[in-house]
Amino acid sequence: MEQAFQCKVFNQYGSREIPNIACECRHGNQHVFTDMVYLESLKIDNEDRLIITSLTNRVMPFIRYEIGDSGRLKEGNCACGSPFPMMEMGLCRSNDIIKTRSGKSIYPSYFIHLLDGLADIQQYQFIQSEPDKITLNLVSPSGLSSEAMSSLRARVRRDVDENMVLEINRVDEIKRTISGKHRFVISQPTRSSAWP
Ligand SMILES: [Zn+2]
């Protein structure tokens, strides 16, 4: 974006429910709009989760709302001089991270690049429903060649886990989440399976 528009681009953090949470300053730190939100971070399931109270929404109260993002408040002062406290976001949500039986964590970026160079893929989603199984749902009119499918399976066994099974399904569509997001990678632990 900076290349295309020839200007500095700043990151702003907000959501549909709570639009103004934090904004990046010229030193690259995210400052929390403490005049509009009360932001907390709580350790839940070994992950720092953001808990937000909106101070401006008088129509629908959001009080200690778990927004679904991970992140935490940062100590100290920023060189920009802003009195607003700093925060940092987690890389991604914990249920976007594929975890193997051996305890390895694989971030979504790995799976997003796995399909690089393959043609005719309109939508895709990787879902880990069991510790040793990932399902790749693809919307692709012509589908993948058998060489492409065996190459994907071999790469997953090599990079993720030697026992990881990759099941590839062609589907008509991939539904968005209730908030309208398309999730590329979902780790969906089931209670019955022994999750690492
Ligand atoms: Zn700053």
Write out pLDDT tens, residues 138-182: 999 999 999 999 999 999 999 999 999 999 999 999 988 776 778
pLDDT tens-digit readout, 99-147: 898 888 888 889 988 998 898 899 999 999 899 999 999 999 999 999 9
Tell me the CA–centroid distance for residue 79 and ligand 1, in Å: 6
Q: What is the pLDDT of residue 95?
A: 74
Tell me the CA–centroid distance for residue 80 and ligand 1, in Å: 4
Tell me the CA–centroid distance for residue 73 and ligand 1, in Å: 13
Tell me the CA–centroid distance for residue 155 and ligand 1, in Å: 42
Tell me the CA–centroid distance for residue 43 and ligand 1, in Å: 25
Tell me the CA–centroid distance for residue 75 and ligand 1, in Å: 12
Tell me the CA–centroid distance for residue 181 and ligand 1, in Å: 29
Please check the confidence at residue 8 and state whether its pLDDT lies above 90.
yes
Tell me the CA–centroid distance for residue 161 and ligand 1, in Å: 41
Asked whether the beta carbons of 22 and 13 are under 8 A apart, the reply is yes
Q: What is the pLDDT of residue 176?
A: 85
Q: Could you give the residue ranges of the DSSP H alpha helices within the chain?
A: 2-5, 108-114, 146-159
Number of Cβ atoms within 10 Å of the Cβ of 181: 9
Q: What is the pLDDT of residue 94?
A: 67
Tell me the CA–centroid distance for residue 26 and ligand 1, in Å: 6
Tell me the CA–centroid distance for residue 31 and ligand 1, in Å: 6
Tell me the CA–centroid distance for residue 77 and ligand 1, in Å: 8
> And the tokens for 133?
């199984």
> And the tokens for 47?
């992950």
Tokens 């909106």 -> residue: 54
Asked whether the beta carbons of 101 and 132 are under 8 A apart, the reply is yes
- Please name the CATH architecture into which domain 95-187 falls: 2-Layer Sandwich (3.30)
Give the helix/strand (H/E) hosting 130: strand 123-130
Q: Where does the chain hold its CATH 3.30.300.30 domain(s)?
A: 95-187
Confidence of residue 183 (pLDDT cuts 50, 70, 90): confident
Q: Is 149 left (phi over 0), alpha (psi -120 to 50) or beta?
A: alpha
Tell me the CA–centroid distance for residue 171 and ligand 1, in Å: 46
